[in-house]
Structure 1
Amino acid sequence: MADSKVETISRLAQWRIDNFGPCSYKKSDPFKLGIWNWYISIERNRYLYIHIFPEPSRLSKEQPPVARFILRVSNNSGPTRKFYISPVHERVLRTSDDFVWPVDTAFLGRFVIDVEFLDLKAFPGNGGVTRSIWPSDGKLQTVADQSALRCLSRMLDEAIHADLTIITADGTLKAHKAVLSASSTLFHSLYLQNADEEDTYTIHMEDMSQESCKSLLSYLYGTINQEDFWNHRLPLLGAANKYEINDLKAACEESLLEDLNSENVLERLNDAWLYQLQNLKKGCFTFLFDFGKIYDVRDEINTFFQHADRELMQEMFQEVLTILK
């Protein structure tokens, strides 16, 4: 029948019924909304009863919809147009018996049923958390973050309105004072001290190679990739410590702890002492003494002791004594 079709737009489903008698039953054609196919059915027996339910399928059985919705019934048009609006309903819908709304109305002939879905979630069969199938604030934030990162990447790569020149050990780079100021209180105070100088500014980072400095800028602009971070961890750690970029310092410490082995443990221990990385130092001590890897570095330990800080050596001996107790 022509009036069994349900029109949909966005999250709204509308069923226009042309002819409905005093004792009738009618079921719509299936319509798609979200990831499910749906039906609306109506029947009259004193009240007008409206049912909403998903089409029986494997999907609706394994992941039944959790729907939050409002219904509205109105006669089609005219000066005496009336509305009946339901409360907000929220429930799991599996069959035609899961939801019914009785409407005390004498509407006959032509009228309209609107169903506005405020949210649709897939009910997890494994007992997990229900999640909306529609874009949420988190997804919107992800899109916004990606857009912002693309803009920052262009600003850095194309030196758009760059007002900062960085002189490295083997080349120069362009950047933006505002980005560096927002990333480091030390940079910010440095620029404040020179606020009366010309618009462009030059800083010297000759203790870093151009490639390492590029990685530092990529981190500050939010565009660094894992390979560059991995390859330049130690220069990045030195810069993070020097310019008080604490989140980068923490990321470098965590990364250096992840690939600790017998070949690098003494070097990492020295870095941990130099940059006051307590977690890395503790990890090195655990690796050497608790796991007995001190015997794997017997050939290197003498050279290490010749150059190690006296206080670090005292801590190492104290660690040994603690284990022997």
Structure 2
Amino acid sequence: MSSEKEVKCGSYCHCNGFNYCADGAVVKKHKTEVTHLRFLQRFETDPLSEAFRGDVVFIGCDEKAVYAHRFILAGKSTVLRGMFTADMKEKQTGTVHVNDITSAVLRSMISYCYTAEVHFTEETPAEELLKAAHKYDIKELKADCEEELGALINKDNFCDKLTLAQLYDAKKLHGKLLLHLRQHIDETYIAFAERLVSCCKP
């Protein structure tokens, strides 16, 4: 790693927030890899649209349908792979009913399997996507959700996030919560005690 002024080989590459000294071949290879990655991520704005329904449909708890392709999902989720290969109802019907996740969250989860990109919104919060990622064993999405949830920890949301970490075996998030507790034990303990008292009130 070096600054632009320190580059002696005549080439300069900026990647992931750092500046690297690199010859022309390395820079060209990097650009090619980025181009290929963007190609792999390129789908319709809505990859699960009416035009390309796929061969499996997820029905969320709001009764809305989300379409996808089994071979894509089977490569990203061990749970879905088992569901599509074992002699289960979902394999026969091509329909997966999900009674505890909304169609918006399912759509975001499935889109992640296509593009490796996730956007946390009011409709698709990190908490719900963490739940979906844990349910279907999508480790990369789960890691992204834990990163998002671990970025803003305070005394007001500590208890809720600790519950999420325990419920969905989110070890990375749990580690960040413990670090926060060590650094802010006084205010966190007071908030936790107040929460406990309020829960015990008749």
TM-score range, shorter chain: 0.7 to 0.9
Q: Structure 2: how far apart are the matches of 1:197 and 1:286? A: 42
Partner of 1:277: 170
Partner of 1:32: none
Q: Structure 2: how far apart are the matches of 1:250 and 1:210? A: 21
Q: Aligned match of 1:257 in 150, 153, 158?
A: 150
> Any idea what SS the aligned residue of 2:48 has?
helix
1:239 deviates by 1.2
Structure 1 vs Structure 2 CA RMSD? 3.4
Give the number of aligned pairs: 188
Change (3 A) 1:179 1:153: farther
Q: Is the 8 A contact 2:73 2:81 kept in 1?
A: yes
Q: Is the 8 A contact 1:218 1:224 kept in 2?
A: yes
Q: Is the 8 A contact 1:168 1:206 kept in 2?
A: yes
Alignment pair present for 1:203 and 2:92: no
TM-score normalised by structure 2 residue count: 0.76
* Percentage of matched positions with identical amino acids: 23
Partner of 2:136: 243
Change (3 A) 1:226 1:249: same
Q: Is the 8 A contact 2:84 2:91 kept in 1?
A: no
Partner of 2:11: 122
Change (3 A) 1:191 1:133: closer
Partner of 2:197: 302
1:76-87 to 2 correspondence within 5 Å? none
Unaligned runs of 5+ in 2: 14-18
Partner of 2:161: 268
TM-score normalised by structure 1 residue count: 0.50
Q: Is the 8 A contact 1:153 1:221 kept in 2?
A: no
Identify the structure with the greater strand proportion. Answer: 1
Q: Structure 1: how far apart are the matches of 2:153 and 2:84? A: 38
Unaligned runs of 5+ in 1: 1-61, 67-120, 307-325
1:275 deviates by 1.3
1:210-225 to 2 correspondence within 5 Å? 210-222=103-115, 224-225=117-118
Q: Structure 1: how far apart are the matches of 2:179 and 2:89? A: 52
In our comparison, the structure showing a higher alpha carbon Rg is 1
Partner of 1:140: 32
1:216 deviates by 1.0
Q: Is the 8 A contact 1:215 1:232 kept in 2?
A: no
> Any idea what SS the aligned residue of 2:101 has?
coil
1:91-170 to 2 correspondence within 5 Å? 121-122=10-11, 129-132=21-24, 136-151=28-43, 155-160=47-52, 162-170=54-62
